[in-house]
Amino acid sequence: MTTERARGLWDCNVFVGRRAGRRYAPAYDVDAARLITEMDRLGVAGAMTYHVLAHELAPALGNERLVVEVAGEPRLEPVWVVLPEHTGELPPGDRLVEEMTRHGVRMARMFPSAELSGHRFSLADWCAGTLLGALAEQRIPLILDFTLFRRGEPPWETVWDVCRRHARLPVLLIGVQGRNNRTLYALLAELPNLLIETSGLNVHRGIEDVCRRFGPQRLVFGSGYPVQSMGGAVFQLQRAELDEDDRGLVASGTLRRLLDPTGGGVLDAT
């Protein structure tokens, strides 16, 4: 068994907490214990975890709750939801990164969209540049979740601008689908710091196609649990026609490299 295989699956896209609205309960009411139970059932070794309150109510409150929720559980790595400092909800970029480091947070997540449940802010440098620059300086991977890939047109120009302006920042797109590939593939060819989470690539041989064209180091396993099935995401990767080293990189190897403070994953290969 290779080293990559032995270290198992790490899910980059889960949350804890209870989503707002009666229609989301109890299926989407998940604490750390329930999350671990589901991971054990499916053989998932660990998960990058954010708190749903940080998305649906207030980032500062949700991030604070998250630290408490995952304390003492090494299989759940905290992911903080972040946004620019102009409203005073979170501190400026440098200070925010210091706080993240102090709490052992090695990944950030943004919901910048003006649609659905997004946080409605611009990723242009005049709004988010200080924060993006601070994350890039420390090579803290950033998950971009536009909550739009299934219902609207992805903001491709925004993705292009962020990755080009902040070339040291690993950017992980959540929810991008295989049917977006006519534009997605052009971006992957030009932006070495752009990566894709796997759960949206639920088209026939979608994972294999990205690996063949761009390499497994551009894909990170994720499920979207509890909104989406963790089991479905695991099955999708298990059944993908990949050699075991490539499967291991998608399963956890690429993520571990991104989280290594001495490296930068795909960035080091460019």
Per-residue pLDDT of the chain (270 residues; tens, 9 = 90+): 333 433 589 999 999 999 887 565 666 789 999 999 999 999 999 999 999 999 999 999 999 999 999 999 999 999 999 999 999 999 999 999 999 999 999 999 999 987 768 899 999 999 999 999 999 999 999 999 987 655 667 789 999 999 999 999 999 999 887 678 899 999 999 999 999 999 988 788 889 999 999 999 999 999 999 999 999 999 999 999 999 999 999 999 999 999 985 644 333 333
In a domain, 187, yes or no: no
Number of domains composing the chain: 2
Closest CA to 79 of 45, 111, 107: 107
| Residue where one domain finishes, among candidates 76, 100, 119 | 119
Helices 230-238 and 32-42, packing angle to 10 deg: 30
pLDDT in the model for residue 197: 96
Q: Is 157 exposed, middle or buried (0-12, 13-18, 19+ CB in 10 A)?
A: exposed
Q: What is the pLDDT of residue 214?
A: 97
If one counts every other C-beta atom within 10 angstroms of the C-beta of residue 122, the result is 13
Confidence at residue 6, expressed as pLDDT on a 0 to 100 scale: 36
Residue where a domain terminates, one of 70, 90, 119: 119
Which of the listed residues 98, 119, 140 is the one where a domain comes to its end?
119
Sorted by sequence, the CB contacts under 8 Å of residue 49 that are 6+ apart come out as 14, 15, 16, 32, 35, 66, 70, 76, 77, 78, 79
How confident is the model at residue 232, as a pLDDT? 94
Q: Is residue 181 in a domain?
A: no
- Please report whether residue 264 resides in a domain: yes
Within a domain: residue 25?
yes
Query: Tell me, what's the pLDDT at 1?
Result: 31
Check residue 267 and give its pLDDT. 34
Q: Which two tokens stand for residue 215?
A: 């390499």
Place of tokens 């009411």: 29
What's the pLDDT at 179? 75
Residue 160's nearest CA partner among 143, 139, 183 is 183
- Within a domain: 260: yes
pLDDT computed for residue 29 by the predictor:
85
pLDDT of residue 24: 59
- 129 falls within a domain: no
In residues, how long is the chain?
A: 270
| CB atoms near residue 261 (< 10 Å) | 10
253 within a domain of the structure (yes/no): yes
Task: Identify the residue whose tokens are 């690539």.
Answer: 201
Domain of 65 in residue numbering reads as: 12-119
Domain annotation covers residue 99 = yes
